[in-house]
């Protein structure tokens, strides 16, 4: 019996996806697998936030472009406020 399902998002650019999810939305990179460590793509990333996981891949054939992942939150308004604050042009670079 499965205990957990982790959604997979297909992306064209793993570095841009990591920037968006980790640096903008506050996810943490848990792992990254690259076929060639000297190249940023293709890459398979595991990211997490608040106990939730998402896998992100730029490998050909992994996932489908245009997929959807729903995140459940205790307060959608608080999460939205955080995301807006993180996206603010005045935020300092990591």
* Model pLDDT for residues 42-73, shown as the tens digit of each residue: 999 999 999 999 999 999 989 887 778 888 88
Q: State mean pLDDT over 1-14.
A: 90
Distance between CA 25 and CA 31 in Å, rounded?
Answer: 17
Percent of the chain predicted with pLDDT > 70:
93
Residue 27's closest CA among 3, 12, 7, 41? 7
- Checking phi first, is residue 30 left (phi over 0); if not, alpha (psi -120 to 50) or beta? alpha
pTM of the model: 0.82
Interval 25-38 mean pLDDT: 94
41: confidence class by pLDDT, cuts 50, 70, 90:
very high
The CA–CA distances, whole Å, from 25 to 9, 35, 37 equal 15, 26, 25
Domains of the chain by range and CATH?
Answer: 8-59+69-87 (3.10.180.10)
């Amino acid at each position: 019996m499965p205990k957990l399902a982790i959604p997979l998002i297909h992306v064209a650019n793993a570095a841009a996806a990591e920037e968006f999810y980790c640096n903008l939305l506050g996810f943490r990179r848990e792992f990254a697998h690259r076929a060639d460590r000297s190249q940023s793509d293709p890459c398979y990333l595991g990211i997490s936030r608040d106990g939730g996981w998402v896998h992100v891949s730029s490998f050909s054939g992994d996932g489908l472009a245009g997929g959807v992942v729903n995140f459940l939150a205790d307060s959608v308004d608080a999460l939205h406020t955080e995301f807006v604050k993180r996206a603010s042009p005045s935020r300092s670079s990591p």
